[in-house]
Amino acid sequence: RLPELLQNLEDLSATIELTEAKENLPDIDAEIPLSYLTPDLLKVIDVFEPYGEGNPHLQFFSKDLKIIAAEAIGKNDKKHLKLTLSGGKYKWPALYWNSADKMEQYFSVGDRVDLVYQMNRNTFNGMETAQIVISDMERSGSSGPPQQTSVEQMPTNLA
């Protein structure tokens, strides 16, 4: 019966169509639902320190954040994007490096987006706030991570 099983498996395998996996999908450590997207996420991130070559920063994926403000920034060329996003109960400052052109071409204020990002601390004038650094972004409604309402103000004291 083993030869018959092997023949059936071989016949069946000939009918299986292999498709190419999407190239350049970002590495994602966790999907963070909006209900868990809080400043407390920084405490989780701290547990995995120190970050470096052998231990890269955690990459997260979250769906359905709303762009509530967008501004091109940069010294001379304004090629970076500073966003304010709403998701869950909070407004989130976000940076998307080298992507100001994407806002003009693909996104508008009011759009809902899915993000691949890192969360970090921004310290300015002695104030520490949580900040999203976007690796990739696309309009909400896709089937997975991107390829390469009233909300409360984000807490400013995260000590």
| In-domain check, residue 153 | no
Q: Are 156 and 129 in contact (CB under 8 A)?
A: yes
- pTM, two decimals, is 0.71
Mean pLDDT, residues 27-34 taken together: 90
Residue keyed to tokens 């403000």: 69
| In-domain check, residue 155 | no
Count of alpha carbons within 13 angstroms of residue 133, beta-carbon side: 11
Domain count, the chain: 1
Does 139 score more than 50 pLDDT? yes
Digit-coded pLDDT (tens) for 51-105: 999 899 999 999 999 999 999 999 888 899 999 999 888 999 999 999 988 887 8
| In-domain check, residue 108 | yes
| In-domain check, residue 157 | no
Looking up residue 94, the CATH number of its domain turns out to be 2.40.50.460
| In-domain check, residue 126 | yes
In this prediction, residue 17 carries a pLDDT of: 66
In this prediction, residue 60 carries a pLDDT of: 94
| In-domain check, residue 40 | yes
Does 149 score more than 80 pLDDT? no
Average pLDDT of the chain is 82
Domain region containing 50: 24-139
